[in-house]
């Protein structure tokens, strides 16, 4: 009889375990584990057969989290105060936030053949935890039939925005794929920064303390500027100790000798994954700083032979103009039948990230890790 799989939730990631998976995005998760707190706890769910580690997934547990905070801003403003405490429950999130928003499921296995079993084992383990009232899984949009059988309700959420650079020998080749309007905008924005004396720099991991501190200050400035976007794990994502420990590359823009903006990223399987970003909102708008950071990432991707740049979920118009949309779905399991009915019929269609019900028929698989370019959306 085959030995059963076991699942444990752990707060360590050893060098030996990292070597088994050889995935810098997974290694990146480990930098956030020490920043966990009672209300927002991040662990790695590890699946083993006997002593052999087969699979892993980042698991974020939000203790007594108010679901009303995830509603559209207009509804959140009206309902969070009177109904927030009633909506509070301990929820578990499985997504790729700490994996650089990879357009993959948040379950990883050393052997792809073991992935379905490892995934099922982790979901079963979390369902068995009586303190968890709801489980959310965010992953590339696909047929949700198996999740429906497991009691999940699925819907389309914010898509992932990706700039596809596969096969581009230079920037002109990339621009040739874009619409005329996008070509004009990109050239105009890059010229605006250059004419102002802006300078783009690329920094490998191991940046000096002064640069790290400046980037983190810009990160916090952007977080405060976008406080209206509800990010349940913002405290973890923006934690200074975690930020300083990350082995991330950085793209900075300097103006007048001062760093006024940055993007940081990790590369995996030919894709640059944005991890963080921060802007100086006093100096940035005049030189189109945010679009220029994205343009600089595209230029770097082309120069290094990367197939694509992942900019994370579509949460602003500038991202829409730089890339193509990759469909993403969220699936929600709620333990209490009454709360599940309420979530499915009232809460989900009013979530800030909701983008519609799952479509009928097949969903085209993502070409992100296959290097096949598509027309801009």
Beta-bridge mates of residue 278:
262
Closest CA to 168 of 299, 300, 268, 302: 302
Q: How far apart are the C-alpha atoms of 103 and 210, rounded to whole Å? A: 33
Count of helices and strands (H, E) across the chain:
13, 14
On whether the CB atoms of residues 311 and 102 are closer than 8 A, the answer is no
Residues of the chain short of pLDDT 50, as ranges, are 1, 372-373, 375-377
Q: How far apart are the C-alpha atoms of 33 and 245, rounded to whole Å? A: 11
Place of tokens 């559209």: 72
Buried-state track 81-102, b at ≥16 Cβ within 10 A, e below 16:
eeeeeebbbbbbbbbbbbbbbb
Q: How far apart are the C-alpha atoms of 97 and 94, rounded to whole Å? A: 9
Q: How far apart are the C-alpha atoms of 209 and 216, rounded to whole Å? A: 10
pLDDT of residue 361: 66
Q: In degrees rounded to 5, what are phi and psi of residue 130? A: -70, -15
Task: Indicate the helix (H) or strand (E) that contains 108.
Answer: strand 108-109
Mark out the alpha helices in the chain (DSSP H runs): 15-21, 24-30, 73-87, 115-128, 145-149, 171-177, 180-195, 209-225, 234-237, 240-245, 289-304, 317-322, 337-342
Beta-bridge mates of residue 134:
91, 334
pLDDT of residue 377: 41
DSSP character string of 34-75:
GG--SSEEEEEEEEEETTEEEEEEEEEEEEEEEGGGGB-HHH
Q: Which two tokens stand for residue 341?
A: 């009915």
Q: Are strands 308-313 and 271-279 parallel, antiparallel or unpaired?
A: parallel
pLDDT of residue 87: 84
On whether the CB atoms of residues 102 and 272 are closer than 8 A, the answer is no
pLDDT of residue 369: 60
pLDDT of residue 264: 97
Predicted model pTM: 0.91
Q: Are strands 134-140 and 108-109 parallel, antiparallel or unpaired?
A: unpaired
Q: How far apart are the C-alpha atoms of 261 and 200, rounded to whole Å? A: 10
């Amino acid at each position: 009889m085959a030995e059963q799989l076991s699942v444990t939730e752990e707060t360590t990631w050893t060098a030996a375990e990292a070597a088994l998976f050889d995935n810098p995005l997974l290694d990146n998760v480990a930098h956030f584990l020490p920043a966990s707190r009672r209300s927002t706890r991040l662990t790695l769910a590890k699946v083993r057969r006997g002593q052999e580690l087969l699979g892993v997934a980042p698991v974020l547990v939000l203790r007594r989290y108010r679901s009303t905070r995830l509603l559209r801003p207009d509804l959140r403003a009206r309902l969070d105060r009177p109904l927030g405490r009633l909506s509070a429950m301990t929820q578990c999130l499985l997504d790729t936030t700490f994996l650089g928003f990879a357009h993959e499921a948040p379950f990883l296995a050393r052997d792809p053949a073991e992935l379905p079993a490892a995934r099922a084992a982790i979901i079963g383990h979390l369902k068995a935890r009586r303190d968890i009232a709801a489980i959310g899984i965010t992953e590339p949009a696909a047929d949700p039939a198996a999740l429906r059988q497991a009691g999940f309700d699925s819907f389309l959420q914010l898509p992932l925005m990706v700039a596809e650079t596969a096969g581009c020998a230079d920037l002109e080749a990339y621009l040739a794929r874009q619409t005329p309007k996008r070509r004009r905008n990109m050239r105009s924005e890059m010229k605006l920064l250059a004419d102002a004396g802006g300078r783009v720099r690329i920094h490998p991991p191991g940046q000096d303390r002064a640069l790290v501190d400046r980037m983190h200050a810009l990160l916090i400035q952007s977080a405060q500027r976008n406080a209206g976007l509800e990010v349940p794990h913002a405290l973890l994502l923006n934690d200074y100790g975690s930020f300083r420990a990350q082995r991330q590359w950085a793209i900075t823009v300097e103006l007048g000798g001062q760093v006024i903006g940055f993007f940081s990223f990790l590369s995996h399987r030919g894709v640059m994954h944005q991890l963080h970003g921060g802007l100086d909102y006093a100096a940035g708008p005049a030189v189109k700083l945010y679009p220029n950071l994205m343009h600089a990432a595209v230029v770097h991707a082309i120069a290094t032979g990367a197939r694509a740049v992942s900019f994370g979920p579509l949460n602003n118009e500038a991202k829409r103009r730089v890339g193509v949309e990759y469909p993403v779905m969220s699936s929600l399991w709620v333990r209490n039948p009454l709360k599940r009915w309420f979530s499915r019929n009232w809460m989900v269609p009013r979530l800030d990230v909701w983008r519609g019900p799952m479509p009928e028929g097949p969903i085209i698989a993502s070409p992100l890790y296959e290097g096949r370019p598509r027309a801009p959306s």
